[in-house]
Structure 1
Amino acid sequence: MLLTLAVAVGFIFLAFLATALPGMWMRARHGTQQPMDTRELARDVASRIGVLHGLILGLVFGQVMGQVNDLYSGMREEAAAAEHIYYRAGAYGAPQVQEAARAYLEAVVTHDWPRQEREAQLSDEGWLAFRRLSAATLALQPTDRAHSKLADAMQDQAFRIEHLRQLRGYEAGMHIPYGFWFAAIAGLVLIGAVFFVHEPSRKHMWIAGAYSVYAGIVLFMIYDLAQPFHGLIVLPPDTFQQALGAIRSGI
């Protein structure tokens, strides 16, 4: 938590420097008093850059939020698939499949999540638990139509779990492209540079500082949300815990 807060402060400080230093350099080079045409041109350029910069931040923020929502939906579906296998195995009369489904959910909670937080990878224990579950469903030998339907449904759910598990592994290692960070910092630098046309009064510095802080917070949120299993805002394994709770309750 302390490391994450330090990173957040670092983003805000970087945004402040990226905005303040170019303006200071431009004032030192061109002075604090500028003619009207220069001030109007600077305002026009700042507005255009600000719109583009805000659009870039908004698009990337929306994309990251969409990926997090998709990931959480996949987690719910994965947990539900394992729970469905458990109850269908009960209807089939296959306790070995029920035990494998329960073991898979436990492996996700106790092994997958800690490793996703540490290394942004799925655990070997989770993969072994899934393979045992898949092997248990494939080993079923139905003797009538009802058992055949249940076996097919369990195997389909097992294949779905494998697909969703792979997606979860890919999302755990997701990173924001470096090109975005370059465009985001460059936008702050250019906006800060054209601030030189305004007198460096305390009021103006407070306004520029407020913009820098807000931009730093948005950049940190994008960085943090791009790491869904590590950081200030993380996805908990609550869906898998709820599935385990339902199984243990015997409902």
Structure 2
Amino acid sequence: MNAVVLFGIAFVGGTIVVTLVFYFLMRLIMGSDPTGKDRELAGAIVMRIASLHALILALVFAQEMIEYQQLKFESVTEANAIADVYFDADRYGADEKAPIQQALFEYVQIVVDDEWRLLGATGQLSPAAWNKWDNVYQRVLDLTPTNARQQSIREHMLSDVHRIAEARDKRENSGTDSISIIFWFAAVSGVVFMALGYYPYPPDPRNLLLLSVLGAFTGIILFFIYAFSDPYNPPATLKPTAFERLLDELATPPASG
């Protein structure tokens, strides 16, 4: 079975176990509720805790999903900017295009083969990729337009080179962000307190099943939050698809010159 599936099952199973353990612990401490007088107050308290807990999970889940999708968008933006510079170099002139295109091709290779993995391992960008970016930047700066067409192309290329750098910085920030331990404390506390509040209800099969469903669904949401909080590592690894497609589009590196 896939390791991600096993990890997800363990994550969900853990929340079920926590829910049931604290439910039985509270019953052991408080005893049963034969008269049913505790149920009304316990139900009201559990309802309020559940509402706040659901709000916390929803807000954090939405935040992580937005950041995950933003990283995907920034990767596409960066790949598009690279392609624009690559083909603008061809439009600028035959003599200047080869070294710029060569550096860009090698840059994309580094991103796909090394930098994406490095972001997952260390949260840092590859110095080699920065060197290739700087190579392109310096060469574009050194271009000497001889007509209005070349002047316009050079300005667009400089703008796109800066877009690449900005997208790189955003990729690095996405890799270093992590969920605060305070969130996990609040999330687990919510599960525990909800489980404690159900102690007046007897541990018959139906009630235990419902408590397990509560724990399982909470575990699923927590698992998704954990997965999307680190887009460069499993279980929700975001692959450099935009760069891989660009690498295929560029096919083979042009001859250096």
* Alpha carbons of structure 1 residues 2 and 117: separation in structure 2 relative to 1, 3 Å: farther
Does the 8 A contact of 1:49 with 1:187 survive in 2? yes
- 2:30 is equivalent to residue 37 of structure 1: no
Query: Which residue is 2:51 aligned to?
Result: 51
Q: Percent identity?
A: 28
Separation in structure 1 between the aligned mates of residue 216 and residue 36 of structure 2, nearest angstrom: 29
Range moving further from structure 2, 8-17 or 58-67: 8-17
Separation in structure 1 between the aligned mates of residue 5 and residue 127 of structure 2, nearest angstrom: 31
Separation in structure 2 between the aligned mates of residue 143 and residue 203 of structure 1, nearest angstrom: 82
Provide, for residues 145-173 of structure 1, a one-character-per-residue CA deviation record: whole Å limited to 9, x for no partner.
Answer: 21111111101110110011011011012
Does the 8 A contact of 2:15 with 2:218 survive in 1? yes
Q: Say what the alpha-carbon RMSD is for the aligned residues.
A: 1.9
Query: Which residue is 2:214 aligned to?
Result: 211
Provide, for residues 120-156 of structure 1, a one-character-per-residue CA deviation record: whole Å limited to 9, x for no partner.
Answer: 3222222222111212211211122211111111011
Does the 8 A contact of 1:107 with 1:129 survive in 2? no
Query: Which residue is 1:157 aligned to?
Result: 160
Query: Which residue is 1:190 aligned to?
Result: 193
- 2:70 is equivalent to residue 64 of structure 1: no
Separation in structure 1 between the aligned mates of residue 107 and residue 159 of structure 2, nearest angstrom: 16
* Alpha carbons of structure 1 residues 225 and 3: separation in structure 2 relative to 1, 3 Å: same
Range moving further from structure 2, 236-245 or 60-69: 236-245
Does the 8 A contact of 1:104 with 1:133 survive in 2? no
Does the 8 A contact of 1:111 with 1:125 survive in 2? no
Does the 8 A contact of 2:111 with 2:243 survive in 1? yes
Query: Which residue is 1:20 aligned to?
Result: 20
| Residue 247 (structure 1) shift | 2.3
Give 1:48's aligned amino acid: R
| Residue 5 (structure 1) shift | 4.3
Query: Which residue is 1:139 aligned to?
Result: 142
- 2:203 is equivalent to residue 200 of structure 1: yes
Within the candidate set 217, 222, 232, 1:229 is matched to 232
Separation in structure 2 between the aligned mates of residue 212 and residue 13 of structure 1, nearest angstrom: 8
Query: Which residue is 1:240 aligned to?
Result: 243
Separation in structure 1 between the aligned mates of residue 114 and residue 83 of structure 2, nearest angstrom: 18
SS at match of 1:161: helix
SS at match of 1:111: helix
Aligned pairs for 1:169-184 within 5 A = 169-184=172-187
TM-score relative to the length of structure 2: 0.91
Separation in structure 1 between the aligned mates of residue 42 and residue 18 of structure 2, nearest angstrom: 17
| Residue 189 (structure 1) shift | 0.6
Separation in structure 2 between the aligned mates of residue 46 and residue 110 of structure 1, nearest angstrom: 50
Within the candidate set 120, 125, 132, 1:122 is matched to 125
Separation in structure 2 between the aligned mates of residue 82 and residue 138 of structure 1, nearest angstrom: 16
Separation in structure 2 between the aligned mates of residue 242 and residue 12 of structure 1, nearest angstrom: 36
Give 2:32's aligned amino acid: T
Give 1:145's aligned amino acid: A
SS at match of 1:234: coil
Does the 8 A contact of 1:19 with 1:212 survive in 2? yes
Alignment gaps of 5+ in structure 2: none
SS at match of 2:131: helix
Does the 8 A contact of 2:36 with 2:200 survive in 1? no
